[in-house]
Every structure is written in C-alpha cells, then in structure tokens.
Structure 1
Amino acid sequence: MRVRNFGTIQEPMNIVPGSFSIFEPDINFSFVYTGDEVKIYLDMLAAGKIAFPGMVTDIVSLENCVDRYIGNPNKKGQLKVLIDLSL
C-alpha cells in the first residue's frame, strides 16, 4: 500500500499505526500547512516580519507562468516561483 500527500493545505491528520499493522505501507508526505498557519505566515510576510528572498527564485505573472515556469522543461535552480496576479 502506498499513501502520498503532495503540496496541499490540510488540517492535521491522525494516523493510527494499528490500522496499518497487516500491511507494510509506504507513506510519503510533502511539507504542508494548515489554513491557519498559511494565514499567520502571509500576515507576517505582509507586515515585513519575515523575508524570504533567498527562497524565491522568480516572480511571474499569471499570464506568463506557463511559458516562464510551468511549461519550461529546465527548472534547475528554481526553488520557489511566485505567481503574482497583480503583474
């Protein structure tokens, strides 16, 4: 059995190990935030309390996001790409 969770905002999940005892599951999670955590981080970012220039490798408009990032086969060096709706 394989369980995967990718790039979502989710609420905390309780896993009962006994429910998997007859299987050998492969459980993989990406790093996720709850909705409340996302609000906290966005508020802190907007207030200038945190900065992450080293993490953001590009800022693109919604109109150009496919050409410049999503459809670009060479994503080497891309850590975080922000899609800015105001551009």
Structure 2
Amino acid sequence: MKEQSLPNIFGYSSTRHQTPQQPDQALLYRIHIAEAKLGVSRSTIYRLVNEGELVLIKIGKRSSGITAASLHALIERNKALAS
C-alpha cells in the first residue's frame, strides 16, 4: 500500500523530505517563512505581532508560528490601503 503523506500545520509533509506540499494549505508559517512572504525582517514580524497585526501561536517551548490567516489578512489590508 502506498504511504500517503499529509501536510502538518506548517504545510510540510510528515515524511523525511521537508518541502512544502502547497504553501496555501499551511495553517501556520514559521517565522522565517513569514519574513520571506512579507519581505520584512524578523524584528518587523515581532513588531507586527506586538501591534496585533499578526497572530503568533506558541507550539512548544522554543517553537512558534504565525497563523496563515493573519498573514493573508495583513496582505489584504495593505492591498486595500495601496489602492
């Protein structure tokens, strides 16, 4: 039987290869992925979290992620401001 790999909350498959299946299926983005998607620095990500613009979810003691919904909402709000 063929093993089916399902993406975890970060959009990565549960197999050995850690490549995103489809980025839009992720529920959370790791900080470095959120930085790349927005084109901003790590400190800007944390500033946006402190301002309530992004939602940070703690997963463990040293692991956290930005919700995909809050990241996409920020992008949409900024699109509306630009037009």
Calculate the TM-score normalised by the size of structure 2. 0.26
Larger % of helix: which? 2
Larger % of strand: which? 1
Q: Which has the higher contact order (CA 8 A, sep 6+)?
A: 1
Calculate the TM-score normalised by the size of structure 1. 0.25
- Higher radius of gyration, 1 or 2: 1
